[in-house]
Amino acid sequence: MEFVRLLLVFLHLLGMGMLVAMFFVQNRVAKEGPLNKGWLHGSALQLLTGVALVGLAPLTDKDYNHIKIGVKLLVVVLIAALVAVNLNKQKVASWLTPALAGLVVLNVGVAVFWT
């Protein structure tokens, strides 16, 4: 079970890296274009791996802080909702990329500093 947890943490961290990378992709390659689908894939990966980590907690002997997890869940749902609403627009709104990146950084901060 420990290997499964580590695998999920591995994917969780890759998902975080993907979301951070999307900020640069969106700013440099697609500033004038539509929102990149990578935002959707990255946030979905975070949601799935995060929920799986929490779901497996009884089997992996982990005791996560549920308020912290609730806040992370709320932030990722907000990210996914913003992405879903804006995905089919021709041009990304100027506030959207920094807002999404800010929410990702907020969740990294919550993950690391909230013990």
In contact, 25 and 80? CB cutoff 8 Å: no
Q: How far is the CB of 30 from ligand HEM (least distance, A)?
A: 20
Please name the residue ranges forming H helices in the chain.
2-28, 38-55, 57-60, 66-86, 96-113
The residue among 53 and 83 lying less far from ligand HEM, judged by its C-beta, is 53
Q: Is 35 an interacting residue with respect to ligand HEM (CB under 6 A)?
A: no
Q: How far is the CB of 27 from ligand HEM (least distance, A)?
A: 18
The residue among 16, 78, 75, 85 whose CA lies nearest residue 49 is: 16
Instruction: Enumerate binding residues for ligand HEM (CB under 6 A).
Output: 5, 9, 12, 16, 19, 46-47, 50-51, 53-54, 62, 64, 69, 72-73, 76, 104, 107-108, 111-112
